[in-house]
Amino acid sequence: MEAMTHGGAGAGEADLTVSEFLTFTLGSEEYAIDILKVQEIRGYEPPTLIANAPPFIKGVINLRGIIVPIVDLRIKFKLGKIEYTPFTVVVILNVAGRVIGVVVDSVSDVISLTPPQIRPAPDFSGSFDTKYIVGLASQDSRMMIVTDIERLMSSADMELIDSATE
């Protein structure tokens, strides 16, 4: 595996810097997020409800002694059928100094991308605001929406953080 550097490469090498992305599906769309933000992948277990939280915040679970909020992105972005099966997956993220779990339909794989492979996204793509979208990438006829998951999770939209900044 090639060594990865993040932002440390010179301008000339920037194009050759390979980053790895975890891809998952939400409804019919496929998303790619920086693998370095992913802590682990777990099965879904019913969380403890938080009263009066928005519907996409499912509640909190105990992750080895840490209280972790669980967000169902399918609800948030109104995608696909919302059902919880033994195959429903929770991606545990480490973003903005916090541990957050997101529920997705399924996790596909890990892919490597270089910056040139990520094309700017047209304004209308994706289910959510383009400001969280880094770009689009395609591989073997798959189209993936490369997402700045950290920015998305710490946004006021997600209602996860008290004083979220836009």
Residue 90 or 133 with smaller CB distance to another protein: 90
Residue in 16, 43, 67, 106 binding another protein, rule: CB under 8 A: 67
In whole angstroms, the minimum distance from the beta carbon of 77 to another protein comes to: 20
Residue type, 26: L
Q: Residue 66 to residues 13, 60, 61, 130, 160: CA-CA distances in angstroms?
A: 40, 10, 8, 32, 16
| Total residues interacting with another protein, rule: CB under 8 A | 24
What do you get for the CA distance between the two ends of the chain, in Å? Answer: 36
Residue in 36, 98, 112, 130 binding another protein, rule: CB under 8 A: 98
Residue 89 or 160 with smaller CB distance to another protein: 160
The Cα–Cα gap between 71 and 164 comes to 16
Q: Which of residues 4-63 bind another protein (CB under 8 A)?
A: 47-53, 59-62
Residue 58 or 74 with smaller CB distance to another protein: 58
The Cα–Cα gap between 118 and 134 comes to 8
Residue 10 or 55 with smaller CB distance to another protein: 55
In whole angstroms, the minimum distance from the beta carbon of 114 to another protein comes to: 33
In whole angstroms, the minimum distance from the beta carbon of 71 to another protein comes to: 10
Residues in touch with another protein (CB under 8 A)? 47-53, 59-62, 64-69, 98-100, 159-162
